[in-house]
């Protein structure tokens, strides 16, 4: 959801000076928590500008690692996620889980070999 406009933030704060949080929330069709947060923001910073969002954490697989994975998959298309995790560990000494590897390849738009499970009719024939 987008932040409220600066004008609306100012009007909410001005109204909240003479009215309760609930009355202010009803008047501007926002939640009482929004009013509380705006008041808290003003008292802490002295302004009404939205807080700067925190930076996103770095990916476990480095950009160089992504190139390495791409090269591996171009060279050998039969690699499973487990094997890719092992090879990444050997090359970069960074342990990456199967889920992280899956999400990395998905983000990169690459496909990989899925685990082959025997068909039920083949299993019946063996027993």
Entry pTM:
0.50
Residues of the chain with pLDDT under 50: none
Q: Are 35 and 24 in contact (CB under 8 A)?
A: yes
Q: Give pLDDT, residue 23.
A: 96
Per the rule left: phi > 0, alpha: psi between -120 and 50, beta: everything else, 93 is left
Q: Is residue 52 part of a domain?
A: no
Q: Give pLDDT, residue 95.
A: 93
Q: Is residue 55 part of a domain?
A: no
Q: Give pLDDT, residue 49.
A: 86
68 and 39, same structural domain?
no
Q: Give pLDDT, residue 85.
A: 94
Per the rule left: phi > 0, alpha: psi between -120 and 50, beta: everything else, 109 is left
Exposed/middle/buried for residue 82 (C-beta within 10 Å: 0-12, 13-18, 19+): exposed
Please state the domain count of the chain.
2
- State the residue range of the domain holding 14: 6-45
Q: Is residue 89 part of a domain?
A: yes
């Amino acid at each position: 959801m987008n932040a409220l406009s600066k004008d609306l933030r100012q009007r909410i704060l001005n109204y909240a000076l003479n009215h309760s949080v609930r009355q202010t929330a009803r008047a501007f069709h926002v939640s009482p928590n929004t009013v509380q947060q705006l008041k808290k923001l003003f008292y802490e910073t002295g302004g009404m500008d939205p807080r700067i969002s925190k930076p996103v954490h770095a990916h476990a697989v480095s950009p160089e690692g992504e190139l390495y994975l791409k090269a591996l998959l171009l060279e050998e298309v039969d690699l499973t996620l487990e094997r890719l995790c092992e090879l990444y560990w050997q090359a970069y000494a960074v342990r990456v889980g199967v889920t992280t590897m899956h999400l990395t390849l998905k983000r990169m738009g690459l496909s990989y070999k899925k685990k082959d499970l025997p068909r039920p009719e083949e299993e019946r024939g063996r027993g």
